[in-house]
Chains A and B, each alone.
Chain A
Amino acid sequence: MFSSFMTNAWISGTIVAVLAGAVGFFVVLRGASFPAHAIPNGAFAGAAGANLLGINPLFGLVSFAVMAALGIGVTSRRTRNDVATALSLVLMLALGAAFLTLSTQYEPAINALLFGEILGVSSSEILPVVVLGACCIVALVVLFRPLVFTSVTPELAEARGLNNTLIETLFLVVLALSTALTVPVVGALLTFSLMIGPPAAARLMSSRPSRAIALSVGLALLTVWLSIAGSYTFNLPIGFFVGTLGAVLFLGARLRGSRRARSRRLVIA
C-alpha cells in the first residue's frame, strides 16, 4: 500500500482532502452546493476535451472549471433559474461524453474521470498539483475573515465596505481550482460528495468557524485516506468509498447533533 507507485496517490490525496475540507466548509456555510455540484461536471468536459486534443488534462480541468465558475457567478447574479442550470449541467456532461467518444478512450479512462482513480495523478503532474493546491490554501487564508463575514451577515459586511461580488467571484475561482485538482482523484460525480459530506458533518459538530474548518479538514483527510486504503485493499473504485464515507460521517454527526442541541447557530470567532 505504501510502495513507490502509490506515493503520488497519497500526496495528491492529502492535498485534495485538505483543499476539499477547507473549501467545502465555505461551500456549506454559503449554501453554494449548486456551484459545487455543477463545476465538477464542467471540469469533466474539460478533461475529456484535453484528452481529445492530447494536451495535459490539468489545462482542460482548470480552464473549464474556471469558465464554469465564472459563468455561474454571472448568471446567478441575474436569476436563480433551476431549469436553466439543470440544462447547462447536462449539456456539460453530454459534451464530455461526446469528447470521450471521439478520443478512442478505453472504458477505464471514462470510469476514472467520473468515479475517481487513485493513480489518477502522474508524477509529472504532482508539481503543478502541489503549487496550485498551495495557492488555493493561501487564498483561503487571506480571504478567511471576509468570507466568513460576508457569509454570515452580507448586509453588515457591505456596510463595512466589503465588496460582496468581488469576494463571491474570488471564492468561486478558488472553488474551481480545487475542483480541478480533486476531479482526477475522486472523480467528477463524487467531488461534490467530498466537498459536502465532511464539512457538513464538521459544521454540525462545532459552532466556531476556526474549529469547524480544522474538523472539516480532519474528517476529509480521514475520508480520503480510508478511501485510498480501501480502494487499494479491495481493488474497488475510490469514489465508492468517498461517497459512502461522506454519507456515514454526515449521518453520524446528525444523529449525535439531534441527540444534543436541536439547532445551533454559527458564532463569529
Chain B
Amino acid sequence: MSRWLFEPGLFANQSVRTALLVGAVVAVVSAVVGIFTVLRGQSFAGHALTDVATAGGAGAFLAGVAPLAGFIGGGVVGAGAMDVIGVERVKGRDIATGVVLGAATGLAALFLYLSTTHSSATGTTQSILFGSIFTVQSSTLPEAAVLSAVVLLTLAAIGRPLLLSSVSAELASARGVHLRTVGLTFMVVLAVSVGLSAIVIGSILSTALLIGPPASSLKLVRRFGAGVALAIGLGLVATVLGIVLAYDSYYWSSAHRALPVSFFVVVVVVAEFVLSSSIHKWRRARVPAAVHSVVADHPEGWH
C-alpha cells in the first residue's frame, strides 16, 4: 500500500517537505475561514477575490516582488473596493461585478503577458493561475505561518459577533455588534486566506480549497465546532493527497510529465463534496420530511 502510494524519494525531497508543510498550514486556514464564508453565503465574494488576487500576483511577478505579497495585496485592495461598491453578493449586482472582474482579469492578462515576454522566467502563467507549490521557497514557510496565525487570531477575536451577525444581522445589531466593522474585517481576512491558498493551488483555483471542504463538512455535521474540525480534516486530506499524487504522477507515464498539484487538489475536493452531498441526501431520505429544520435543509444558505 505504502509502496503504491508513495513513490521513492517522496519524503527525502526538500521541496516536497516544504510543500507539505505550507500546504497543511494553508489547508487549516482556508477551512476555518471557509466555514464562515459558506455560512455567510459569501462564496461569490470569495470567488470574486480570486480574480483580483490574480491581477495582484501577476503584478508582483512583473515587479519582481514575492508572489505571496502580490496575491495578498491584490486581495486586500479588492476586498476594500468590494466593500465600497458593495458587490459581495450575486443578487442584483452581478452585472457590475462582472464588469469589474472583467477589468481585473484584463489587467492580469497584461501583467502576465509582460512578465512572460519581458523576462526570461517561464511558466509564470501556470504558476500564478494554477499554483506551483513545489517551487515555494522554504523561506516562505515562516511568512505563511505568521500570516495564518494572524488570520486565526483575528477570527478568534471576531468569531462570536461574526457568527451572530451571519445568523441574524438584526439580533447582532441589537446586541451592539458593529456590523460594518465586523464585515469588513472578515473580508480582509478572506482576502489574506485567498492569497495564501493561491500559492498552493493558484489564484483562480483557490475557491476550491476555500469553499469545498467547509461546504462538504456542513453537509455532514451540524455543530459549529465539529464542522470546523471536519473541514480542517477534509482540507488536509485534499492538500496532502493532491501533493503526493502530483509527485507520483511523474512516474505514471513513460514520458515523465507530472500533472499539476492544483488539478489533484481540486479533484479530491470535488470528490469529497459529491460524496458528502450523497450522504446528506441518503440521510434525508431516511428521516421524515417534517423533522428537519430549515437550517438542516440548507446549511449553505444559512445566513
Chain A residues within 8 Å of B, Cβ to Cβ: 28, 31, 33-34, 36-37, 81-84, 86-91, 93-95, 97-98, 100-102, 104, 107-108, 110-111, 114-116, 187, 189-190, 192-193, 196-197, 200, 236-237, 239-244, 246-247, 250-251, 254
Whether A111 pairs with B112 at a CB distance below 8 angstroms is yes
**A244-B39 Cα distance, complex, nearest whole Å:** 34
Q: Taking CB as reference atom, which chain A residue is nearest B253?
A: A102
Whether B208 pairs with A192 at a CB distance below 8 angstroms is no
Whether B95 pairs with A114 at a CB distance below 8 angstroms is no
Instruction: Judge if B162 is at the interface, Cβ distance under 8 Å.
Output: no
Whether B116 pairs with A111 at a CB distance below 8 angstroms is yes
Whether A97 pairs with B122 at a CB distance below 8 angstroms is no
The 3 closest A-B pairs by CB, nearest first: A243-B106, A193-B102, A115-B109
Q: A107-B126, A110-B126 are in contact. Are A83 and B205 (CB under 8 A)?
A: no
With A82-B44, A107-B123, A189-B109 known, 19 other A-B pairs at CB within 8 A are A31-B94, A33-B94, A34-B94, A83-B215, A87-B270, A87-B273, A91-B270, A94-B205, A102-B257, A108-B116, A110-B125, A115-B108, A197-B99, A236-B113, A237-B112, A239-B105, A246-B106, A247-B102, A247-B106
| In-complex Cβ contact of B98 among A89, A193, A236, A254 (8 A) | A193
**A86-B46 Cα distance, complex, nearest whole Å:** 10
Whether B263 pairs with A94 at a CB distance below 8 angstroms is yes
**A238-B196 Cα distance, complex, nearest whole Å:** 30
Query: Hey, which chain B residues are within 8 Å of A114, CB to CB?
Result: 109, 125, 129
Interface size class of B (residues with CB under 8 A): 35 or more
7 contacts between A and B (CB under 8 A): A86-B47, A95-B263, A97-B129, A97-B260, A101-B257, A108-B116, A200-B99
B280 to chain A, nearest CB (A): 12
B63 to chain A, nearest CB (A): 17
The DSSP consensus for interface residues of chain A is: helix
Query: Hey, which chain A residues are within 8 Å of B96, CB to CB?
Result: 250, 254
**A129-B258 Cα distance, complex, nearest whole Å:** 35
Which residues 102-151 of B sit at the A interface, judged by CB distance below 8 A? 102-110, 112-114, 116, 122-126, 129-130
Whether A240 pairs with B300 at a CB distance below 8 angstroms is no
Query: Hey, which chain A residues are within 8 Å of B20, CB to CB?
Result: none
Whether B267 pairs with A241 at a CB distance below 8 angstroms is no
Query: Hey, which chain B residues are within 8 Å of A98, CB to CB?
Result: 259-260, 263
Whether A82 pairs with B102 at a CB distance below 8 angstroms is no
Whether A237 pairs with B113 at a CB distance below 8 angstroms is yes
Whether A187 pairs with B109 at a CB distance below 8 angstroms is yes
Query: Hey, which chain B residues are within 8 Å of A84, CB to CB?
Result: 273, 277
A152 to chain B, nearest CB (A): 17
A268 to chain B, nearest CB (A): 21
* Residue picked from A28, A91, A250, most chain B C-beta under 10 Å: A91
